[in-house]
Each structure stands twice: as structure tokens, then as C-alpha cells.
């Protein structure tokens, strides 16, 4: 989608739709809700019992956006797989993913933000990038609670991307980014082993779970201490999503980029 409503990206690009819920952050998945709205319930669930839907237009659209960015002279960010997980292990997407990688490699003026809940699959599905990772491809993972932070950050920073980022959204509890005795700032020790950006946001939509601004403040403070750019996306709640910057408490009106 061009000109995405997601405030930390410019565009979104889903080469296919469909996924399987794997952790607490998936409970009220907006992508699944949207799929059901379009009568596409069969694209959600375990790979052995569900299909994925190939999306036709995006393959040309993303190349067009790249040309537009070049003409404007302004780099833009594209969040890839907002309606799926690029690293899901599903037989149907093997060829699609390889084709998508070829398209992504061609981009010159777009920064591609790959956000996954499965960073442990990166070496399996992106192994050909391991020796020469495309510099415009950022790699991120969702850390909605302490459990997922503990599980996923180590796998994320082992990926040789130029930029690693975390999405604490939906943030379901206070999260401590000091893992296994390593201070968050130590992830800046080498070129490939670091986190360079943190996004924070509460859950929105029907059934949204509680979110506390102090959780965000604590995460902001950890980022400040480690010198990590922090992006406050939105508070929690429905119908007021509180995603506009002025709806956020003044001390959290922070939207920094790496």
C-alpha cells in the first residue's frame, strides 16, 4: 500500500497474504481480522492446513515506488509483509519469497524493513544474503513481552543486516532489554551485532489489551542510555488509537530514526 497509515514507514508491501499465530502478540492480529473481512479465512493457520494468497500488483508497485523515490531524490521506507511473515516456513511461499528477494535486491532508493516473528529462520531462507547482505534491507523482530524479547533478540542480531530493529508492539508488559547479563548497549560492540532502532506501541482495535505509558517510558529510557533511536508509534485503546503525535504524552512525543 502506497502512503501507509503506519507512521514509521512510508509504504507497505505484502507479496502474499496469510500466516499462523505463534505468540501472545498475535492474539488480536489485525492482518487476520482484515483477511476475514475479505472472506479469506483459509489463508490463516498452520502451514499443513492452510494456504497463502499470492498478491499480483505489488511486484510492479514496489519497483514503481523505487523510481518515484529516485525522481524525488528522497529515500523512503517500505515495510514488507504487513499481511504475512516473510520468514514463515510454508511450502507455498518458497518460490514467491525467492522472487521477492530478487525484486528487493533491485531497489535503489527504498529502505526495505523486514519485520518478522521468526528471526531464527533467517539463515535458512536468506542464506544467499549472508555473505553480502543488501545494505538497504533492515531486519527487525517483534518483542511484545519479556518472553519474546529473550527468545528473539539474540537471533535477530546474528543476522548480518546493516540495521536491526525491534518492534515492541503490541507492548503487553514492561520489557527489560538486558539479556543474559548483557547490557542493551553492548549490542553496539560490532557492526553486525547490534540493535539500532526500537519502535513502541500499545494494542488497538477490538479486544485490545491494557497498555501503560510507563512501560513506554522505561523502554525510552533504556534506549536513551544505550544511544538507540526510539519511535513512539501510538498508545493503546479502541476506538481512540492515540497514534497522532499530539495524542501522546509530551515526554513520549519521540519519533527518531536510525
Segment 38-54 mean pLDDT: 94
Q: What is the pLDDT of residue 215?
A: 97
Interhelix angle 94-106/58-72, rounded to 10 degrees, is 10
Q: Is the pLDDT of residue 203 over 50?
A: yes
Q: What is the pLDDT of residue 229?
A: 95
Query: pTM (2 decimals)?
Result: 0.93
What are the pLDDT digits (tens) for 57-101? 999 999 999 999 999 999 999 999 999 999 999 999 999 999 999
Segment 219-244 mean pLDDT: 82
Q: What is the pLDDT of residue 188?
A: 47
The residues near 163 (Cβ < 8 Å, ≥ 6 apart) are 111, 138, 139, 196, 197, 258
Q: What is the pLDDT of residue 192?
A: 44
Are 233 and 7 contacting, i.e. CB atoms less than 8 angstroms apart? yes
pLDDT over 70 percentage in the chain: 92
d(CA 172, CA 152): 16
Q: Are strands 16-17 and 137-142 parallel, antiparallel or unpaired?
A: unpaired
Q: Is the pLDDT of residue 13 over 70?
A: yes
Among 31-35, 93-97, 220-224, 240-244, the range scoring the smallest mean pLDDT is 240-244
Q: What is the pLDDT of residue 246?
A: 74
Q: What is the pLDDT of residue 189?
A: 43
For 175-228, the DSSP string reads ----BTTB-GGGGGSSSSS---EEEEE--BSTTPPP--HHHHHHHHHHHHHHT-
d(CA 216, CA 222): 10
The residues near 49 (Cβ < 8 Å, ≥ 6 apart) are none
Cis omega before residue 209 (within 30°)? no
- Compare 41 and 175 and report the one with higher pLDDT: 175
For 142-171, the DSSP string reads E--SHHHHHHHHHHHHTS--S-EEEEE-S-
What are the pLDDT digits (tens) for 141-195? 999 999 999 999 999 999 999 999 999 999 999 999 875 555 555 554 443 468 9
* Average pLDDT across the chain, whole number: 91
Q: What is the pLDDT of residue 42?
A: 94
Which of the four pLDDT bands, split at 50, 70 and 90, describes residue 12? very high
What are the pLDDT digits (tens) for 111-126? 999 999 999 999 999 9
Are 146 and 123 contacting, i.e. CB atoms less than 8 angstroms apart? no
Amino acid at each position: 500500500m502506497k502512503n501507509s497509515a503506519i507512521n514509521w514507514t512510508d509504504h507497505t508491501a505484502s507479496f502474499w497474504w496469510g500466516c499462523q499465530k505463534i505468540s501472545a502478540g498475535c492474539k488480536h492480529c489485525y492482518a487476520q481480522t482484515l483477511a476475514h473481512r475479505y472472506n479469506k479465512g483459509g489463508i490463516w493457520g498452520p502451514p499443513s492446513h492452510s494456504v497463502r494468497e499470492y498478491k499480483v500488483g505489488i511486484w510492479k508497485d514496489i519497483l514503481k515506488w523505487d523510481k518515484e523515490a529516485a525522481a524525488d531524490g528522497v529515500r523512503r521506507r517500505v515495510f514488507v509483509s504487513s499481511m504475512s511473515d516473510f520468514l514463515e516456513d510454508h511450502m507455498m511461499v518458497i518460490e514467491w519469497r525467492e522472487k521477492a528477494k530478487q525484486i528487493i535486491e533491485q531497489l535503489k532508493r527504498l529502505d526495505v524493513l523486514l519485520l518478522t516473528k521468526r528471526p531464527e529462520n533467517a539463515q535458512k531462507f536468506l542464506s544467499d544474503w549472508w555473505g553480502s547482505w543488501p545494505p538497504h534491507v533492515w531486519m527487525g523482530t517483534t518483542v511484545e513481552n519479556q518472553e519474546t524479547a529473550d527468545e528473539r533478540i539474540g537471533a535477530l542480531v546474528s543476522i548480518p543486516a546493516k540495521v536491526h530493529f525491534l518492534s515492541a508492539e503490541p507492548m503487553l508488559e514492561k520489557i527489560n532489554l538486558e539479556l543474559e547479563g548483557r547490557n542493551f548497549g553492548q549490542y553496539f560492540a560490532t557492526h553486525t551485532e547490534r540493535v539500532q532502532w526500537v519502535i513502541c506501541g500499545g494494542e488497538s482495535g477490538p479486544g485490545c489489551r491494557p497498555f501503560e505509558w510507563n512501560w513506554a517510558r522505561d523502554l525510552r529510557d533504556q534506549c536513551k542510555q544505550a544511544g538507540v533511536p526510539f519511535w513512539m508509534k501510538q498508545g493503546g485503546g479502541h476506538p481512540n488509537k492515540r497514534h497522532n503525535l499530539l495524542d501522546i504524552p509530551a515526554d513520549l512525543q519521540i519519533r527518531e530514526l536510525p
